Amino acid sequence: MADEIPVPDTRAGFEELLRFAQTYNGYALHGGLSGLRAFLGAAWGEREAVEELPDDVDLLRACLFFEHRQHYFSGGMYVFETEPKVVALLERIRAVAGETVPRRDAKCASARSG
């Protein structure tokens, strides 16, 4: 059985949100950056409004992982933990999955495929 990871509250600090975002390795699970972008583009489409967030926990977590990577590569040009999209993603993940989600990182992905 996969490790269960607590879903942080939307008031969690940067470090806790960062650790949570990293428990879903979008690069390993979707074939690198291009695969992750293709997954997000096909599944997410043009959705931007919070009311339109999907019920697919993997998609929500992939989006959060991608937001984390964008924040990193932007040099931290915005406050990650209060970014409206980050807050909305966390709220939706908690609403759909509850208080925990399974770890989805490279080790888990390789264990499932091997």
Q: Which residues does 81 contact at the CB level (< 8 Å), separation at least 6?
A: 12, 13, 14, 17
Q: What secondary structure letter does DSSP report for 24?
A: B
When pLDDT is averaged across residues 20-44 and rounded to a whole number, the result is 87
Question: pLDDT by residue (tens digit) across 63-101?
Answer: 999 989 989 988 888 898 998 888 989 999 999 999 999
Give the three-class secondary structure for 16: helix
Question: pLDDT by residue (tens digit) across 47-71?
Answer: 555 567 888 899 899 999 998 998 9
Per domain, the residue ranges of the chain are 4-113
* Residue 85, both tokens: 């999209």
